[in-house]
Amino acid sequence: MSFEDDLIALLPRLRRHALARTGHLAEADDLVQAACERALQARRQWREGTRLDAWVLTILNNVCIDHARRRQTRGTEAPMEELDAVPDTNWSRSVEARITLEQVLGVLAELPDAMRAVLSLVAVEGLTYEEASNILKVPIGTVMSRLSRARIELMRRLGSDGGQVMNGAWS
């Protein structure tokens, strides 16, 4: 397999990650394209035998951060410290199965980008905390506390959308 074939095989994962970060498919595809261009230009920096997915996700993370900076003035997301407390809500497998990608993206859009990044890398892409820590260049402890916070926010907000009550897991 050539380098390009390996990149092509990664496209679905890159696209999921970029979509989690931007919320819009066409925009996500643009970011993936930019990341692929950078990866192709820097291909000599990738050492054979190391993981290409982690390397390209690192590039994509940088592209996403640059992109977020460029459009910062339009952002509606809450800063990490100022997230509203959302009432506890109920949860059930039947609610869970009906959740759509649009709903999830709607909630992700309200979270800080740093939270979207860990949710995508660990919960969606299944990377380890250590791998996510290397990609995002933050300590593992930070990955874990962000991830915990992000998941609680995600579930509360999804739950409150559905108008259910979440059993007071955190009461």
Partner 1 sequence: MTAGGDEASATDLALMALADGELSDAEAERLRAAMAADPSLARRYELYAASRRVLRQAFAQLDELPASPRLLASLRREQAATLAPRVAPRRAVFALAAGLLLTVGLAAWFGQQAQRSHDASVGTQLARESGAVAAALEHLAAGEEARIGDGAQALSLMPLASYDGGTAWCREFEARRVSGDDALRALACRDAAAPAWEIREVIASTAAPEDSGSEFRPASGERPAVLQGRPLTPEQERAAIASGWPRH
> Closer CB to partner 1, residue 51 or residue 145?
145
DSSP for 93-113, please give it. Answer: HHHHHT--HHHHHHHHHHS-H
Radius of gyration of the chain (CA): 17
Indicate whether 54 belongs to the interface with partner 1 (CB under 8 A): no
Give the nearer residue to partner 1 in terms of CB position, either 37 or 75.
Answer: 37
Q: Rounded CA gap, 117 and 121, in Å?
A: 6
Q: Does 27 bind partner 1 (CB under 8 A)?
A: yes
Scan residues 31-50 and list those touching partner 1 (CB under 8 A): 32-34, 36-37, 40
Name which position in 49, 76, 97, 163 contacts partner 1 (CB under 8 A). 97
Within the chain, how many helices (H) and strands (E) appear?
8, 0
The Cβ-side half-sphere exposure at 148, using a 13 Å CA radius, reads 6
State the number of CA atoms in the 13 A half-sphere of 103 facing the CB: 15
Distance CA 155, CA 28 (A): 24
Q: Which of 52, 57, 86, 135 binds partner 1 (CB under 8 A)?
A: 86
- Applying CB under 8 A, the residues found at the interface with partner 1 are 2, 4-5, 7-8, 11-12, 15-16, 19-20, 24-27, 29-30, 32-34, 36-37, 40, 80-81, 83-86, 91, 96-97, 99-101, 103-105, 119-120, 122-124, 128-129, 144-145, 147-149, 151-156, 158, 166-167, 169-170
